[in-house]
Structure 1
Amino acid sequence: MKKITKLIALLISIQCISQDIDNLYSNYFQNTREIPYLHLNKTSFLKGEEVWFQSYLIEQNSNKLHPTSSNLYVSVFDESGQQKEQHLIQIKNGIGYGSIPIDSTFTQNNYYIKASTNWMKNFSEDNSFTQRISILSDQKNTSAKTSSQDDFYEFKLMPEGGHLLQNTVNNIAILIKNQNNEGVKIKSGKIIDSNSKNIGSFNTNTLGFANVNLPIKNNEIYTFEATLYNGTTIKQKTNIPKQIGVTLNTKIYDDYFLLNILTNKTSLNVLNGKKYRVFIHNTRSYKSIFFDFNNIDKNYVLLLKKQELFKGVNIITLFNEKNQPVLERLIFNDLEDSSSNIKVTTSKINYDSIQATVINYSKEKIFLSSSFLPSSTKAYEPNNNIKSQILLKPYVKGFIENANYYFNASKNKSKDLDLLLLTQGWSKYSWNNIFNNPPKDNFNFENGIDLTLTIKEKLSPKRAVMMFSKENNLIKEFKSNQNPIVLKNTFIKKNSSVDFGLKINDKLLEILPYITYSNYSIKETLNKKHLINYNNFELEVSNFKDLSKDVTVLDEVILEAPKKKINSEPYGAITMLNSVKMKNMIIPSGETIIDFLQFKGFKYTGFKFLPKGISQRGRKFTKYDSEGDIIESSSMSEKKDELLSPEVRVFLDNNEITFALWIIESMYTNTVKEVFYGRDPGKIAQVIYIYSLSPQEYASKNSLYSTVKIPIGFNQEKEYYSPKYPSYTNSTYKEFGAIFWKPNIILEPNKAITFSVPKNYQKDAIIFIEGISESGQLISKNQLLSFK
Structure 2
Amino acid sequence: MDSNNEIITLFKGNKFGLGKFVFKPQKGKNYHCKITLKDGEVITKKIESITHKGIGLNVINHKLKNTIININTNEDTLPELINESCYLIIHRDGLIKKIEVPFIKNKLNYSFKIKKSLLHSGINIVTLLNPKMKPIAERIIFNDYNSPIKNINVKEITKEKDSSIIKLQVTDSEIKNINLSISVLPSKTKANKHNSSIVSSLLINPYIKGKIENPWYYFNKINSEKKYNLDLLLLTQGWSKYYWGDIFNNPPKISYNFETGFLIKGKINTTFKKGDKMIVQSKENGFSQESVISKEGIFTFNKLFIAENSTINFSLKSKKEKYKKPKIYYNIYPTYIYNLLRINKKDNPNSIFLSEDLESFTFDKKAIILDEVKIKSANVKPKPKNSPRGMFLAKHINFENIQNQSTLITEKLRPYFNVSNNGGVVSITSRRYRSLYTQSKPVVFLDNVNISESLDIIADLRVFETEEMFVSTSNSSIYNAAGVIHLYTKRGVSKPNENKYSDSTVGFGFSIPKKYYNPIYNELNEENFKSYGVLNWVPNLTRDENGELSFKISNKFDGPINLYIEGIYKDGFLFSKIKTISSHISF
Aligned to 2:165: 355
Q: Does the CA-based 8 Å contact 2:121-2:146 persist in structure 1? A: no
Aligned to 2:423: 604
**Aligned letter for 2:26?**
K
Q: Does the CA-based 8 Å contact 2:166-2:552 persist in structure 1? A: yes
Distance 1:720 1:299, change over 3 A: same
Distance 1:741 1:373 in 2: 9
- Please give the secondary structure, in 2, of the residue aligned with 1:760: coil
Aligned to 2:124: 314
Q: Alpha-carbon deviation of 1:210?
A: 1.0
Q: Does the CA-based 8 Å contact 2:116-2:145 persist in structure 1? A: no
Name which of 69, 83, 101 aligns with 1:273: 83
Name which of 456, 460, 464 aligns with 1:662: 456
Q: Alpha-carbon deviation of 1:378?
A: 2.6
Q: Does 1:770 align with 2:566?
A: yes
Distance 2:115 2:301 in 1: 54
> Aligned runs of 1:141-220 on 2, under 5 Å?
191=1, 193-218=2-27, 220=29
Aligned to 1:244: 53
Aligned to 1:224: 33
Q: Does the CA-based 8 Å contact 1:220-1:240 persist in structure 2? A: no
**Aligned letter for 1:732?**
N
Distance 1:259 1:490, change over 3 A: closer
Aligned to 2:230: 417
Q: 1:636-669 CA distances to partner (integer Å, 9 max, x unpaired)?
A: xxxxx9xxxxxxxxxx99xxx999851157x9x9
Aligned to 1:440: 254
Q: Alpha-carbon deviation of 1:434?
A: 6.0
* Cα RMSD (Å): 5.3
Which structure has greater strand proportion?
A: 1
Gaps in structure 2 of 5+ consecutive residues: 272-280, 288-295, 313-328, 338-359, 364-379, 386-396, 408-420, 428-436, 438-445, 466-487, 496-503
Aligned to 2:152: 342
Distance 1:234 1:407 in 2: 32
Aligned to 1:478: none
**Aligned letter for 1:662?**
D
Distance 1:235 1:211 in 2: 16
Q: Does the CA-based 8 Å contact 2:264-2:330 persist in structure 1? A: no
TM score, norm. by length of structure 2: 0.61
Q: Alpha-carbon deviation of 1:212?
A: 1.1
Q: 1:456-480 CA distances to partner (integer Å, 9 max, x unpaired)?
A: xxx999xxxxxx9998899xxxxxx
Distance 1:335 1:734, change over 3 A: farther
Q: 1:712-761 CA distances to partner (integer Å, 9 max, x unpaired)?
A: 3222234332011222111121122111222333459x953333332232
Distance 1:496 1:448 in 2: 13
Q: Does the CA-based 8 Å contact 1:449-1:492 persist in structure 2? A: no
Q: Alpha-carbon deviation of 1:399?
A: 4.2
**Aligned letter for 1:387?**
V
Q: Alpha-carbon deviation of 1:673?
A: 11
Aligned to 1:502: none
TM score, norm. by length of structure 1: 0.47
Q: Does the CA-based 8 Å contact 2:117-2:146 persist in structure 1? A: no
Q: 1:550-608 CA distances to partner (integer Å, 9 max, x unpaired)?
A: xxxxxxxxx875999987996497xxx9xxxxxxxxxxxxxxxxxxxxxxxx9716347
**Aligned letter for 1:787?**
H
Q: Does the CA-based 8 Å contact 1:365-1:746 persist in structure 2? A: no
Distance 2:72 2:454 in 1: 71
Distance 1:746 1:472 in 2: 19
Distance 1:440 1:766 in 2: 45
Distance 1:413 1:313 in 2: 16
Distance 1:347 1:494 in 2: 39
Q: Does the CA-based 8 Å contact 1:449-1:491 persist in structure 2? A: no
Distance 1:659 1:305 in 2: 47
Aligned to 1:378: 190
Bigger Rg over Cα:
1
Q: Alpha-carbon deviation of 1:432?
A: 5.4
Between the two proteins, what is the percent identity of the paired residues? 32
Distance 1:493 1:277, change over 3 A: closer
- Please give the secondary structure, in 2, of the residue aligned with 1:224: strand
Distance 2:184 2:401 in 1: 45
- Bigger shift: residues 722-731 or 711-720: 711-720
Distance 1:485 1:321, change over 3 A: closer
**Aligned letter for 2:18?**
F
Q: 1:102-130 CA distances to partner (integer Å, 9 max, x unpaired)?
A: xxxxxxxxxxxxxxxxxxxxxxxxxxxxx
Q: Alpha-carbon deviation of 1:245?
A: 1.6
Aligned to 1:758: 554
Q: Does the CA-based 8 Å contact 1:220-1:241 persist in structure 2? A: no
Q: Alpha-carbon deviation of 1:441?
A: 6.8
Q: Does the CA-based 8 Å contact 2:3-2:29 persist in structure 1? A: yes
- Please give the secondary structure, in 2, of the residue aligned with 1:422: helix
Q: Does 1:325 align with 2:135?
A: yes
Aligned to 2:511: 715
Aligned to 1:392: 204
Distance 1:485 1:276, change over 3 A: closer
Q: 1:80-121 CA distances to partner (integer Å, 9 max, x unpaired)?
A: xxxxxxxxxxxxxxxxxxxxxxxxxxxxxxxxxxxxxxxxxx
Distance 1:257 1:571 in 2: 70
Q: Does the CA-based 8 Å contact 2:157-2:164 persist in structure 1? A: yes
**Aligned letter for 1:727?**
E
Q: Does the CA-based 8 Å contact 1:397-1:428 persist in structure 2? A: no
- Please give the secondary structure, in 2, of the residue aligned with 1:372: strand
Aligned to 1:368: 179
Distance 1:261 1:567, change over 3 A: closer
Q: Alpha-carbon deviation of 1:211?
A: 0.7
Aligned to 2:334: 519
Distance 1:780 1:335, change over 3 A: farther
Number of positions where the alignment pairs a residue of Structure 1 with one of Structure 2: 446
Aligned to 1:787: 584
Q: Alpha-carbon deviation of 1:354?
A: 0.9
Distance 1:426 1:338 in 2: 22
Distance 1:295 1:390 in 2: 44
Q: Does 1:302 align with 2:112?
A: yes
Q: Alpha-carbon deviation of 1:201?
A: 3.1
**Aligned letter for 2:69?**
L
